[in-house]
Amino acid sequence: MRILSFSLIWLAGAAAAWAQPYRVTVENGVPVRTRDGVRLIADVYRPQADGKFPVLLERTPYNRAGGAGEAVKMAAEGYVVILQDTRGRYDSQGEFYPFRFESQDGYDTVEWAARQPWCDGQVGMFGGSYVGATQMLAAISSPPHLKAIFPYVTASEYYEGWTYQGGALLQWFASSWSSGLVTDTLRRKAAELANPKAWIDALPIESYRMLALPPVSSLAPYFADWVAHERDDEYWRPWKISEHYAEMNSKSLHAGGWHDIFLKGTINNYMGMRRSSPARADQRLMLGPWAHAATSPEGKIGDVTFGKAAVLDMTGTTLRWFDYALKGRRNEYATGAPVRIFVMGENRWRDEQEFPLARTQYTNYYLRGGHLLSTQAPGRETSESYDYDPANPVPTIGGRLCCGNQIPPGPADERPIEKRSDVLIFSTPPLTRDIEVTGLIRAKIEAATSAPDTDFTVLLVDVEPSGYARFLTDGILRARYRTSTRKAEPITPGKIYAYDIDMWATSNVFRAGHRIRLYVSSSNFPRFNRNLNTGESNLGATRMQKAHQTIYHDAAHPSALVLPVIPR
């Protein structure tokens, strides 16, 4: 274990923003022993001063060293900051399996920190994505000294909204995230075989141990498990955060992005804890225009520059939240509204008292003949049809993605998919006035298919007078999971079914002169895995068949986009 001392020297501008009262001491490689004997490794950043301080803990699978700069800043403000590699990652012992050990390891680390002589008995946790998952999973185990959390862009459970959505696998995320994790796992496995003294006397000579590296299936066994468990079954139950809100007694700042892959989880965590947590009065929600990627200094996300107000000062926000939650300071989190949202289209922040907003007017925009969206209900109209071929799926363009930069996340121009024969387009005429849409969105589609199973997808865009069609939100529903993702219910080819598709949420002002547009199709690949239209489970499936899809929009089958319109 190495002990370092930092004397913080800042440029004049930084010094004005950060009044630093403490120098910082860093202890690298601090071991924390879990209940089952696994040694987790952490770095501890402490103010160089006598006394006790609140602890801020980040448990990460992405290499604790990456957070050193932020940790120094926060420790200089009077916190002990602990950065820990999660089990089976980087310097920590054990085998990594997403979610499986995070509750017990989080509990053990929180309580270990609380026992240290430099801790004042209060522990907070912070961080985003899977680091948010380590917070939520720790919180459901109710460590007595976990007083506050700041989960950023994370989920409320790990079936719906992390691995699956509407019964469809989030294939791009599951694949790309697992690929990133495998890099460190492979390094660890290679290191285990790299000592020649352990195998140099083995015969035959060609049994060189480095040739015994494990197959990819053993580097990420969870991926195969996710594919095998395509239903919301008992495999997912131990990590179902949404079943434990009443046990989570932590002040919480839930932050997410309108373009983030885990947006629905952020919203659900806030709503669930606001309703059921013993700390319900100390739940806060912040929703920006962010995607699951960095925001440029100008506030550019995907194609769109939302302005510098859209840039989140992560370190500053973290400090202000814990100044309130752990130090009792009367800042904006003590006196302000519980909800803060970024309204796109106007590109400004607005405070609210609840989410969804109490003044919401849920409004049906019906699919009509002539490819129209209208608030007027349909009468006697014809249906619309297209053919879906899983060998030629509709490509994903931007939107709620992670990870890697091959398909950039965030708002993008969706016009390229309008040229396809397997995408139906429904639009309002140019709007005569501004319309604000803020809140939860659904599409209720009445449809039939020639196949024994298929998907229906929807995507909402804001169409500017120039024609630019900006992504806002999307959704998918696998036909056999139309009633519940816990049980597959086969469909009858040719029969009309109602599909209630969750499109999650957004906040956007459609300006006068713009159009509201909805795309209806049956694929959005590789964001979601292709439905092969055979009714077979994902595991082992290779056979494909085409499907003829019919979308109905008459008085007896009123397909509609349901928008949360906010009076202005």
Name the active-site residue from 43, 105, 108, 260: 260
Confidence at 204, pLDDT banded by 50, 70, 90: confident
**Quick one: CA torsion of 366, 372, 373, 376, rounded to 10 degrees?**
-50
Q: Which two tokens stand for residue 66?
A: 């990456």
Q: Which two tokens stand for residue 455?
A: 């998907």
Residue 504 has pLDDT above 60, yes or no: yes
pLDDT of residue 208: 63
User: Which comes out higher in pLDDT, residue 66 or 184?
Assistant: 66
- φ/ψ of 176, rounded to 5, equals -70, -40
pLDDT of residue 12: 32
Least confidently predicted of 119-133, 212-226, 448-462? 212-226
- What are the tens digits of pLDDT across the range 144-194? 999 999 999 999 999 999 999 999 999 999 999 998 998 888 888 777 766
Packing angle between helix 102-114 and helix 130-139, nearest 10 degrees?
A: 70
Q: What percent of the chain has pLDDT over 70?
A: 93
pLDDT of residue 212: 61
- What are the tens digits of pLDDT across the range 372-420? 999 999 998 889 999 999 999 999 999 999 987 789 999 999 999 999 9
Domain with CATH 3.40.50.1820 in the chain: 2-162+237-352
Q: Is 553 a catalytic residue?
A: no
pLDDT of residue 198: 65
pLDDT of residue 549: 98
- Relative to beta strand 361-368, strand 560-566 is antiparallel
Give the separation between CA 349 and CA 332, rounded to whole angstroms: 14
Confidence at 4, pLDDT banded by 50, 70, 90: very low
Give the separation between CA 193 and CA 183, rounded to whole angstroms: 16
- What are the tens digits of pLDDT across the range 239-287? 999 999 999 999 999 999 999 999 999 999 999 999 999 999 999 999 9
pLDDT of residue 194: 66
Name the active-site residue from 129, 176, 252, 507: 129
Residue 6 has pLDDT above 60, yes or no: no
The three-class DSSP label of residue 113 is helix
pLDDT of residue 214: 65
Mean pLDDT of 42-58: 97
- What are the tens digits of pLDDT across the range 427-470? 999 999 999 999 999 999 999 999 999 999 999 999 999 999 99
- What are the tens digits of pLDDT across the range 317-357? 999 999 999 999 999 999 999 999 999 999 999 999 999 99
pLDDT of residue 395: 98
3-state secondary structure 230-263: CCCCCCCHHHCHHHCHHHCCCEEEEEEEEECCCH
CB 43 within 8 A of CB 68: yes
Least confidently predicted of 9-13, 21-25, 97-101, 186-190? 9-13
Residue 217 has pLDDT above 70, yes or no: no
Residue 13's contacts (CB-CB under 8 Å, 6 or more residues apart) are: none
Residue 205 has pLDDT above 90, yes or no: no
Mean pLDDT of 298-321: 97
- Cβ-based burial of 438 (10 A; exposed 0-12, middle 13-18, buried ≥19): buried
Q: Is 313 a catalytic residue?
A: no
Q: What percent of the chain has pLDDT over 90?
A: 87
pLDDT of residue 11: 30
Does the structural domain 361-566 have CATH classification 2.60.120.260? Answer: yes
pLDDT of residue 274: 98
Domain with CATH 2.60.120.260 in the chain: 361-566
How many CA atoms are closer than 13 Å to the CA of 212, on its beta-carbon side?
A: 9
The pTM (predicted TM-score) of the whole model is 0.93
Confidence at 539, pLDDT banded by 50, 70, 90: confident
Residue 10 has pLDDT above 50, yes or no: no
Confidence at 18, pLDDT banded by 50, 70, 90: very low
Confidence at 9, pLDDT banded by 50, 70, 90: very low
- What are the tens digits of pLDDT across the range 462-474? 999 999 999 999 9
Confidence at 478, pLDDT banded by 50, 70, 90: very high
Name the active-site residue from 145, 259, 292, 553: 292
Residue 468's contacts (CB-CB under 8 Å, 6 or more residues apart) are: 413, 415
Residue 308 has pLDDT above 80, yes or no: yes
Query: 2-162+237-352: CATH homologous superfamily?
Result: Alpha/Beta hydrolase fold, catalytic domain (3.40.50.1820)
Mean pLDDT of all residues belonging to the chain: 93
Q: Is 292 a catalytic residue?
A: yes
